[in-house]
Structure 1
Amino acid sequence: MTLVPLGDRVVLKQVEAEETTKSGIVLPGQAQEKPQQAEVVAVGPGGVVDGKEVKMEVAVGDKVIYSKYSGTEVKMDGTEYIIVKQNDILAIVK
């Protein structure tokens, strides 16, 4: 199965959380904060949202930073994805 987003939505695959800090301390699973960085897996076609034309500014394969409490989490084939609106994406990491 594949996810095909509609409108101005984007499907993201979250980057793995770091298991150690920069100083070498190993973090247990509960202490790990979910990263806000993800890879774009699929991009919707854009279109008209609230009477304004939306041009998609991200592409498949881009690494992005998204808002902390945005999106809908979906699990498919054992992989977790997040579906967000394009305006919930804050930056593209280059």
Structure 2
Amino acid sequence: MASKSATGAKVSPLADRVVIKAMEESEQMRGGLYIPDTAKEKPQQGEIIAVGPGKYEDGKLVPMGVKVGDKVLYGKYSGTEVTIEGEQLLILRESDVLAVIG
């Protein structure tokens, strides 16, 4: 059963996966110069909008250590980029999340 995420897309990740909405990088640098899309770095920060139930180890469900609404850091090339209902999202395993911000 799919549930609505924090952004409105219907997505329900399985096992120990999370769905992240990447934080947009500013188009303008401090000096006032504009950065073209081709020169921008891949985002490494985002907000978790959906979480799976966790994974089983030795027959027991291990709950997730992150929750919807957490701001997180993740590896630059981690996960799978998908578009769901017009939204650019990233699906990755909880182990690919490097840290919770704040």
TM-score, L = length of structure 2:
0.83
Partners of 1:54 and 1:66 lie apart in 2 by 21
Partners of 1:40 and 1:3 lie apart in 2 by 12
Unaligned runs of at least 5 residues, structure 1: none
Deviation at 1:46, TM superposition (A): 0.3
Partners of 1:55 and 1:41 lie apart in 2 by 17
Residue 3 of structure 1 is matched in structure 2 by: 11
Residue 41 of structure 1 is matched in structure 2 by: 49
Could you tell me which amino acid in structure 2 is paired with residue 89 of structure 1?
A: V
Q: Secondary structure at the match of 1:59?
A: coil
Name which of structure 1's ranges 20-29 and 59-68 shifts more when overlaid on structure 2: 20-29
Show the 5 A alignment for 1:53-72. 53-72=61-80
Could you tell me which amino acid in structure 2 is paired with residue 65 of structure 1?
A: L
CA deviation profile, 1:27-72 (whole Å, cap 9, x unmatched): 11111112100100000000315x4753311110111000111101
TM-score, L = length of structure 1:
0.89
Residue 38 of structure 2 is matched in structure 1 by: 30
The count of corresponding residues between Structure 1 and Structure 2 is: 93
Provide runs of 4+ in structure 1 moved above 4 Å: none
Aligned-pair RMSD on alpha carbons? Answer: 1.6
Which of 77, 83, 88 aligns to 1:75? It is: 83
Unaligned runs of at least 5 residues, structure 2: 1-8
User: What percent of counterpart residues are identical?
Assistant: 48
